[in-house]
Amino acid sequence: MSAISGAAQHYRVRRTPALIAVAALATTTLFALPQTTRATTPADAVVSAGPVTFVDDGDTATVTVTVESADDAALAAPVSVGWSTGSGTATADADYTAGSGTLEFPAGTPSGTERTLRITTRASDAGETAETVPVTLRSRDAEVAGQPAVVVRAHGLPYLDPRLSTKKRVADLLKRMTLAEKVGQMTQAERGNVTGDPAVIAELGLGSVLSGGGSTPAENTPEAWADAIDGFQTQALATRLQIPLIYGVDSVHGHGNLNGATILPHNIGLGATRDPALVARAERMVATETRATGIPWTFAPCVCVVRDDRWGRTYESFGEHPALASVLGAAAVAGFQGKDLESNRSVLATAKHFVGDGDTTFGTGEGEYTIDQGITEQSRRHVEKVDLPPYAAALKAGVGSVMPSFSSIDWTDDGLGNPLKMHANRELITGWLKQKQGFDGFVISDWQGIHQIPPLADDSPTTGQIVTSVNAGVDMFMEPSQFERFHTRLVAAVRDGQVKEARINDAVSRILAAKFELGLFEEPFADRSHADEIGSAQHRAIAREAVAKSQVLLKNNRRALPLDDRDSIYVAGRNADDLGNQAGGWTGTWQGFSGDVTPGTTILEGIRAAADDVTFSEDASAPTDGADVGVVVVGETPYAEGFGDVGGPEWAWDPADGGVPREEKSMSLQPGDAAVVDKVCAEIPTCVVLVVSGRPQVLTEQLGSIDALVASWLPGTEGAGVADVLFGDRKFTGRLPVSWPRSADDPVVNVGDRDYDPLFPFGWGLTTGGKGHHGDQRTTLQNAALDPADGVSPAGSRAIATSDVAVLEGRTSHAREILAAALPK
């Protein structure tokens, strides 16, 4: 998914009463939860009540009315509040007992005092949809902030019966829905664009709300998240059918928007672990933290196969080979969804970005991007062999939703020149995904993804873009700010015959099925029972293990590692003590930022906890005299998506940036990083370099001066996991998920290439104790193939990489044969 900064988002224009009335008539909303109303005479006190009180048919509703003074002091004068039931969809005497009365708050009443009024409903003999009883509050003594209503819950209808199958419940509910209600279920808005006017959720019957990157409640706490989402859910349940919202968020390496959440290594690091059981356990942890804030849906995992590491999304991929992305993508889906979606530790997963987003051609990127959102120029055979297998694996694992890519596909089979946006690709979305693979979940568009379907327009989404994408097979539409326009135009398009209602019914059935499977009809509000586990020691231990297993030891000359905790250790480099840099993008905000982005442990803090004699100098300006070992931590600073493309635009819009563009992205070490490596490695006898980055960084020229080189990726909040392997508390076991190039001028190198000659191959990874995979074969070959100054020989690279692929594909005996044939005779 994409997101844009808060400053750049187009927030909704305030709607006029006429528009509200039109929206209310266009749908079958019970009522639009009202905005604040003011008394004709200003007062020092404010009277308020919750916008809605739910009650079961036949029970008595208790409405709580609160009085508060402007200065939070006791009331200086008495406040009298009159109330009366009004005319709603419930019928007086038949459905409830009409009533009126007065609530008194004498002078001296403490601010925040509550009084209650009661409304008795009458049980009906037959099942009914929800009905509303508006309540009017009046006061000459205080400002009245909003008017409450009582909603008698829908009851006795088949779709509300959890004993029935999901298929029967969906069929019953669908036949009760109007066209406007169906289209509402296909519409998703962004949190920031409904927070100021939440009544629009009820008016349009929105099916979903999401948080983009960095979009959080004013107080970024688990309780505030749950409260906010419950508020949105209340609006959804204020409709006659009471179809609950499904709220979505990018928990791509932890609940990254939430301050204090446990942040995992990005997928590129998880790819290095080669441990599907760990990936499943880690994503189960993420699901628990996400659902504890009221969110049942994540836009993860990304199962793309990255083929050009200049791509700004490289770290979102598990690796460059489809076998690796398939194994770990399926494990991630299993972790997110568990065995029971209704569990308060489960979230609906999303396989993205369908399909070929990691396989786009450099120079074809959208707008100023050089590769992101570009064009996949490949044959159908190539896409089926390289890009589609991870989706087949995710589908087999039961993934509940799929998100199309911003990118296009231009089949080489019929010649280049006619690219088609994936959001418009019926052949792959409806044909391959739904018909051939039998996918029965729903397809969610990416952030305003249909706006890029030609012809482009200033008033997107146009009817043409909407019709094209719906007919291609997209079911729900992420329209963060233009959700009203989308809703209006799709309803009109169906009435005009441009979209068949059968296609609408198919889309809505898929969405409703997911909501039933998640148990949202029975438990629509946040289950906060696991909120105390967010950022807990147990969760951070899982992330710490993932960090340790993600570390790839590329070189270990003279057995520089593991370190001795009794040595004098000199630590340098800008990524040693920067939590934001080690967490990367999608942390705190969309692009992430340097510094204290969220609570956690930096790599330096992990080293200091493991050793007593540690000196830190970020730029290596402090004297190095007397140090036994130098540890230099360099690499990249945070970015996301096209702003991470090599040669792409430079981000400058996070508050931490102060309007200053971030450094240009490169596959080479930044000059300052290279200077620190050169200085420390020249002055200290043993030099260890850690590269904290979302993709390989070319340092071929420095390789000869480095004793030990580690690919640390983007470890997240648990930097102590890096120290665990540096000091030997855990062995190095990580394997490269992508090939490490020799040159930034020619960085595209993938296992299986005809002239495969990387600096370090796919699957490469030294150990610091014990045997490698397949006994000693791998260890012996790696030792023989590595030149300390020139990397791995081409023959050794091919053997290591192809044997690793064989292991991933389950051909372990063949892997042994490859290694045996390559061993020195």
Q: What would the DSSP string read from start to end of 406-446? A: S-EE--GGG-SS--EEGGG-HIIIIIIIIIIS---SEEB--
Contact 538, 281 (CB under 8 A): no
Looking at residue 770, its pLDDT comes to: 57
CA 533 to chain centre: 19
Give yes or no for residue 40 having a pLDDT over 90: no
Beta strand pairing call for 408-409 and 614-617: unpaired
Give yes or no for residue 709 having a pLDDT over 70: yes
241-267: per-residue pLDDT in tens? 999 999 999 999 999 999 999 999 999
Residues taking part in catalysis: 446, 641
In 3D, which of 526, 353, 509, 333 has the Cα closest to residue 423?
A: 353
564-576: per-residue pLDDT in tens? 999 999 999 999 9
Q: Is-above-0.85 flag for pTM?
A: yes
> At which residue do the structure tokens 């990691």 appear?
358
183-227: per-residue pLDDT in tens? 999 999 999 999 999 999 999 999 999 999 999 999 999 999 999
In 3D, which of 475, 363, 358, 442 has the Cα closest to residue 406?
A: 358
Residue 548 in tokens: 């340790």
Residue 317 in tokens: 């991929």
Nearest-10 crossing angle of helices 322-337, 794-808: 40
In this structure, the chain runs to a length of 825
Q: What is the largest CA-CA distance in the chain?
A: 99
In 3D, which of 89, 63, 91, 67 has the Cα closest to residue 78?
A: 67
Eight-class DSSP state of 646: T
Angstrom distance (rounded) from CA 16 to CA 222: 34
Angstrom distance (rounded) from CA 21 to CA 135: 19
471-496: per-residue pLDDT in tens? 999 999 999 999 999 999 999 999 99
743-769: per-residue pLDDT in tens? 999 999 999 999 999 999 999 999 997
**% of the chain surpassing 90 pLDDT:** 93
Contact 755, 636 (CB under 8 A): no
Give yes or no for residue 11 having a pLDDT over 70: no
Mean pLDDT of the chain: 94
Looking at residue 44, its pLDDT comes to: 87
Looking at residue 9, its pLDDT comes to: 30
Looking at residue 43, its pLDDT comes to: 61
Half-sphere exposure of 498 (CA within 13 A, CB side): 15
